[in-house]
Amino acid sequence: MEVDNAFVGQRALSLATVFLTRHPEVRVVHDTTDSGLDLQVQITHKGMPTGRMFGVEVKARMNLQRVGKILPDGRARLSTQLRNLVQKTGDQFALLPFPYLFMVFAMDRDQAFFGWLRQPNSRSSKLVSPKVEYGCPWLDKTHMDIVDAVKGWYADRNGPR
């Protein structure tokens, strides 16, 4: 039985939501048709919106081999097709004024890899647009590290919250 691409895409969005909302201060918005983002992640404080956010681009492949080559350090060197697709999306959003990351799922394992398209820089209020080549494995505390990096970037720009 062949799986419908729309189903795979929806399942990847659902998995991304589960992974991201493991952080208690995260609220994920799916209806982003106006912005073109797959997901918008809002950071809250005591359940209230803070205006701090980041975007997420979500991609899925049916199996790990289609994601790319897994290196000894656990990173995935993304396949050429996937790398080009993610980089093209990153280029389209090169002027995005808030952090933006990508998540790639190997659906046969529910395994995620991520990387930044607009990376928050703790030493500067600027966002960096790194070249897309690798995806880092999503680990147990990755959601905490990502939110901490985004919160730190906003704090450097606007003061602590």
What tens-digit pLDDT sequence spans the chain (161 residues)? Answer: 345 677 888 999 999 999 999 999 999 988 766 778 999 999 999 989 899 999 999 999 999 999 999 999 999 999 999 999 999 999 999 899 999 999 999 999 989 999 999 999 877 778 989 999 999 999 999 999 999 999 999 988 876 65
Q: Which of 101, 110, 93, 109 is nearest to 136 (CA)?
A: 101
Give ∠ CA 37-43-46 in degrees, rounded to 5. Answer: 150
Give the CATH number for residue 10: 3.40.1350.10
Domain tally, the chain:
1
- Helical pair 5-20 and 142-158, crossing angle rounded to 10 deg: 70
Domain that holds residue 68: 5-158
Q: Could you tell me if 156 and 125 are in contact, meaning their C-beta atoms sit under 8 angstroms apart?
A: yes
Residue given tokens 């790194």 in the structure block: 130
Retrieve residue 5's tokens.
Answer: 């691409």
Residue 26 CA, chain-centre distance (Å), reads 13
Entry pTM: 0.91
- List, in sequence order, every residue forming a beta bridge with 35; answer none if it has no partner: none
